[in-house]
Amino acid sequence: MDAPQFKEFAKEMVDYVSNYLENIRDRRVLPTVEPGYLRPLIPETAPIKGDKWEDVLADVERVIMPGVTHWHSPRFHAYFPTANSYPAIVADILSGAIACIGFSWIASPACTELEVVMLDWLAQSHSSVERAGLLGGVKLRSLPVDDEYKLRGETVAEALKEDKAAGLIPFYLVATLGTTSSCAFDSLDEIGPICNEYGVWLHVDAAYAGSSFICPEFRYLMKGIERADSFNFNPHKWLLVNFDCSTMWLKEPAWLVDAFNVDPLYLKHDQQGAAPDYRHWQIPLGRRFRALKLWFVLRLYGVENLQAFIRKHIALAHYFEELVRSDDRFEIAAEVIMGLVCFRLKGENELSEQLLKRINANGVVHMVPSKINDIYFLRMAVCSRFTEREDIEITWKEVRANADLLLSEKKN
């Protein structure tokens, strides 16, 4: 069925990918298309006979690229980073070729075993937490934070007392190391003992900032982690492993395995119990061979280069912070700890809202806002591995030029 030339396409696509990435800075970050742009560009039905590869590849530029937001542009500063590297991309090609479904050890032993070892490689120093995944869906309560947007121990203690007095059974608390809004770090060392005392499962969400713990100088931010029942971070955000790769360690994996265990006869095998069968650690049955890309990235970059990458992003954020502080029309809205700078025009929220609208309309740089305690601010996240000081300067120029225009219009 496969035409003999199909395998040649793979090689051409690799060239297309490297051209795309190496020249990404020449593309506008945000597309200009309107909703519904795509349908008229392609036929109404699938082709009866296969199309030519050249036509498909040409349509990537004609149909797809005009509608792509270029997340790896050096001036993409929205949300948080999503990782991208050649080692991870090539590992994914191999994973795509092996294309196994790693629900049990025997379904592909390398898939399970590499995952176990990679999670150990990542965990370093923190033997108290072990691996897996979990989910919940019950009555939820958000707790107030302090002036630095951190969740504090006394707030947790009060909430637990109130819930118990109201006849509720509090059983799960999420503390965040590096919140999405402002990258605040909850006071884990205060919260942990209280959760342990009340028998509340403490989950630590370090989705973005967790990658920084590869650098010893940032580990103070995870002080108290030994009290946690589960810990998660996403190498697919900030550790150069392409989406998706989200890692989770559990203090007591058996609690999870017992909850999710499904064991029909056709999935049983002789080595059961000797190695994890990851289908018991998750809700879906199937599991991709993701450990390969983690392995390739850790081996090909090495810890030193990954540390350098994290440090560079944080230095670039501090550089932007410095530029913002040099202009007294602006203020920094939250302490800069990682690669995120929260900033705003002094005064009414509306000013900063209009500023961001103008910036995104130009499409040279892309940012998103957030709001905490009714204070609106812009978030400049250093995202791309291509971002250099010059890009940060371009971003700042773009911010300043739009502020100039906005403020002069307001005066008139």
Ligand X SMILES: *Cc1c(COP(=O)(O)O)cnc(C)c1O
Number of helices (H) and strands (E) in the chain: give both, helices first.
11, 9
Which helix (H) or strand (E) is 115 found in, with range? helix 109-123
- The least distance separating ligand X from the CB of residue 131, rounded to whole angstroms, comes to 15
- The least distance separating ligand X from the CB of residue 205, rounded to whole angstroms, comes to 5
Q: Give the end-to-end CA distance of the chain in Å, rounded to a whole number.
A: 70
| Strand pairing class (375-381; 340-345) | antiparallel
Residue nearest to ligand X (CB): 207
- The least distance separating ligand X from the CB of residue 275, rounded to whole angstroms, comes to 25
Q: Which is nearer to ligand X, 145 or 345 (CB)?
A: 145
The CA-based dihedral angle spanning residues 143, 146, 149, 154, taken in that order and rounded to the nearest 10 degrees: -50
Q: Which is nearer to ligand X, 74 or 81 (CB)?
A: 81
- The least distance separating ligand X from the CB of residue 135, rounded to whole angstroms, comes to 11
Q: Which is nearer to ligand X, 209 or 292 (CB)?
A: 209
Q: Which is nearer to ligand X, 191 or 207 (CB)?
A: 207
Interface positions with ligand X (CB under 6 A): 80, 176, 178-180, 205, 207-208, 234, 246
Chain center to CA of 385: 14
| Residue 398 backbone zone (phi > 0: left; psi -120 to 50: alpha; other: beta) | alpha
Q: Which is nearer to ligand X, 25 or 150 (CB)?
A: 150
- The least distance separating ligand X from the CB of residue 83, rounded to whole angstroms, comes to 11
Q: Which is nearer to ligand X, 108 or 179 (CB)?
A: 179
| Order of all β-strands in the sheet with 340-345 | 330-332, 340-345, 375-381, 368-372
In this structure, which amino acid lies at residue 46? A
**Residues facing 345 on adjacent strands:** 330
- The least distance separating ligand X from the CB of residue 201, rounded to whole angstroms, comes to 17
Asked if 381 contacts 78 with a C-beta cutoff of 8 angstroms, the reply is yes
